[in-house]
Amino acid sequence: MDPQLLSTSKGKQGVMWLEILLASVLGFVIYWFVSKDKEETLPLEDGWWGPGVRPTAGEDESIRPFKVETSDEEINDLHQRIDKVRLTPPLEDSRFHYGFNSNYLKKVISYWRNEFDWRKQVESLNRYPHFKTKIEGLDIHFIHVKPPQLPSGQTPKPLLMVHGWPGSFYEFYKITPFLTDPKNHGLSDEHVFEVICPSIPGYGFSEASSKKGFNSVATARIFYKLMLRLGFQQFYIQGGDWGALICTNMAQLVPSHVKGLHLNMAFILRNFYTLTLLLGWRFGRLFGYTKRDMELMYSLKKIFFNLVRESGYLHIQSTKPDTVGCALNDSPVGLAAYILEKFSTWTNPEFRDLEDGGLERKFSLDDLLTGVMLYWTTGTITSSQRFYKENMRLDNRHEGIKVHVPTGFAAFPCELIHVPEKWVKSKYPKLISYSYMPRGGHFAAFEEPELLAQDIHKFMGLLERQ
C-alpha cells in the first residue's frame, strides 16, 4: 500500500477517534449538568424607574382607561418629513442582501404618504380596551380583552402575552379572537382565555425608564405586579423574542403564580447542549437530535453565517443604542426601513433574495406601517433599543437558573435559530409539549396567529390532563 495513502488513512482514523472521544466526554458532562436539577428562583426584590428619587407617598395603583389618539399636526409633520426623504439607489441585482432595497422602499413610501390612513388604524387599535397604571414609577400600558361569551360553567383563563423588538402589543391583535372567542373562529372552546398584552416599558405607550439597568427581570417583576393588580393570583404566560425571556424570568421569579408557560423562542445560553453544535452534524443521534432538528440546524456553515448576517443590529443596540436612535427618531423613512427589514428576513431568510423582501407575502402594508407608527408617534425607538444594552451583561444570574413551571414550546421552522427539544428541556425540565410547526418565522403571533393559537390550546389541554 502506498505509504502516503496509509498515512492519510491513519490520520482520518485518528480524527474519527478524537471526535468520538470528545463526543463521549461532552455527553458525560451534559448528563452531569442536566442531572443537577435543583429548583432555584430569582429574588423578587423591588425597583423605582421613574425620574428622580422615589416618593415617600405610596404609588397610585389605580387602573385608568386609555385611548390611542392622533392629530392633524402629527400627520402633517409625518407627511412633511416623508416628502423630504433622500434615498440612495441600490446596487444592481442586490435585492435585500444589502438591507432594505430602496427601489421597493419607494413603493412603501408612496403608499404611506398617499394611501395609508392612520386615523382609520387608530380606530382599529381602539377596538380592544386599553389601560394604563403606575408600577415602580412607570406608566404601564396594556390591552385587556375579555371573552364575549363563555360556555356554561366555565371561567376564562388569564393569559399574559408579551411582545419583543421591533414589535408591539399590536402583534397580538389577530391571535386574540382565537383565544377569547375560539368557537366562533374554528377552534374548540374547551379553553377560553382573557388576554392581557402589555407594552414593555420604553416601547409604544409604556413609559421608558429614567434610570440605567432596566432589564428583562425588572420588566418581569412589573408585569407580575400588573397581573396581581388585575386580580390574578395565578395565570398563564406566553412570549417570543424579548417576550420569551421576560416570561421565562416571571416563571423564575414567581413559579407558584405561573400555572403554565408557552414560548415560541428560547434563550438557551449557559448550557452544555449548545456545545454540541460543533459535533451534532456527525453525532446528532447521540445528543438526542431528531431528523427534523438536523434539517433545521445544519449545515453548520449556514447557521453561523446567518447569525452573523442577521445580528449587526444587535451589536449596535447592545453598545451604542442612543447614537443610531438619534437618526431613526428623526426620520420616519429611515425608521420604516430599519424596522421592516426585520419583518422580511426574520419571517423567512430566503426573502432576502426577492426584490421586495417578500414583505407583502405574509403581511399587509397597513399592518406593517401601523407597527412602525407605534414607534414613530411615541418616539420610542431609542428607549426600545436600550433594552438590548441593559440585558447584554455578563452577570445575568437568570441564565443559569432552570424553569420549574409546566412549559410548552412551538418551534417555527424559519425562526432565527432552531432550538431542539433537548435544549429546551435542559432549561425547562417540565416541558410537556414541543411542536414542530409546519410554517412560520420569528413573528409567530403576527404571521401565523391561528397556528400559534392552536398550539397554545394544545398545550393547555396537555397541562390540564396531567
User: Do residues 318 and 86 touch, judged by C-beta distance below 8 A?
Assistant: no
Q: Is 353 helix (H, G, I), strand (E, B) or coil?
A: helix
Q: Catalytic pick from 104, 173, 289, 388?
A: 388
User: DSSP labels for 87-108?
Assistant: -PPPPTT-TTTTSS-HHHHHHH
Q: Catalytic pick from 130, 163, 404, 442?
A: 442
User: Do residues 163 and 245 touch, judged by C-beta distance below 8 A?
Assistant: no
Q: Catalytic pick from 141, 170, 191, 241?
A: 241
User: Do residues 202 and 386 touch, judged by C-beta distance below 8 A?
Assistant: yes
Give yes or no: 388 in active site.
Answer: yes
- Which cell numbers hold the place of 366? 397597513
Q: What span, in angstroms and rounded, lies between the C-alpha atoms of 427 and 430?
A: 9
Give yes or no: 442 in active site.
Answer: yes
Q: What span, in angstroms and rounded, lies between the C-alpha atoms of 452 and 440?
A: 10
Q: What span, in angstroms and rounded, lies between the C-alpha atoms of 196 and 162?
A: 9
Residue with cell 382609520: 120
Name the DSSP class of 38.
-
Handedness of CA 450, 456, 461, 462 (dihedral sign): positive
Give yes or no: 262 in active site.
Answer: no
Q: Which residues are catalytic?
A: 241, 388, 442
